[in-house]
Amino acid sequence: MTRALSLGVTLGVLIGLLFYPAVVRGDGGSAATVTLDAPAEVAPGSDFIARVNILWLQDFDAAQFDITYDADVLQFTDVTDGLINSTAIPADWGFMPPGEPGTIRVITNVAGAPGVTGAGYLADIHFHVVGSACNTSALSLSNGVLSDKYGAAIPAIWIGTSVHVSGNTHYLFLPLLQTV
């Protein structure tokens, strides 16, 4: 039932994005949409990647955003560079506050500020599952800022997700004892 509910929520969000009215910028363009894409269910002890997707950017140069997770369920292991239309998007990171797991700040900056246009992803966030079966962790995107090659802000909608640690539910069936 949990898997069906998770699939239903995911489909509902995707359908909602199709019909969500675009946020309109003052220059007539619409806001960029940044989504965190991760598996809905992960196995205990496994590794997975949460991809920070971007649906469309024009003249993109840099980004900064935080990803918050439950450190009792997930262990952050790495950030790797993104890619927009065959242009590498170098990514760096640090814990926020420094040295404390639970939130990482990711900073990207395209060398030389050429301005990248298109769709792709800003970074891949690598995690190891340390939580027990049936634990869940939100993966929240916050404090997001995108900027173009001129240093101007690019409006954006930031959408996080969550992951659930799979587990087998064991039932103990005892025979019904009747006294006669």
| Tokens of residue 138, six digits | 């939100």
CATH number of the domain bearing residue 83:
2.60.40.680
- Report the helix count and the strand count for the chain, using DSSP H and E: 1, 12
pLDDT beyond 70 at 22: no
Give the span between the Cα atoms of 64 and 145, in whole angstroms.
5
Structural domains of the chain, count: 1
d(CA 164, CA 138): 9
Domain, as residue range, for 47: 33-165
Say whether pLDDT at 20 is over 50.
no
Higher pLDDT, 24 or 170: 170
In a domain, 117, yes or no: yes
Calpha distance 72→44 (Å, rounded): 12
22 within a domain of the structure (yes/no): no
* Residue 13 maps to a domain: no
Largest CA distance in the chain: 87
Residue 41 inside a domain? The answer is: yes
151 within some domain: yes
Is the residue at 123 inside a domain? yes
Question: Are the C-beta atoms of 120 and 84 separated by less than 8 Å?
Answer: yes
Q: Which pTM value belongs to this model?
A: 0.78
Q: Is residue 110 part of a domain?
A: yes
Distance between CA atoms of 145 and 90, rounded to whole angstroms? 16
pLDDT tier for residue 168 given thresholds of 50, 70 and 90: low
Question: Has residue 14 been placed in a domain?
Answer: no
Please indicate whether residue 2 or residue 42 has the higher confidence score (pLDDT). 42
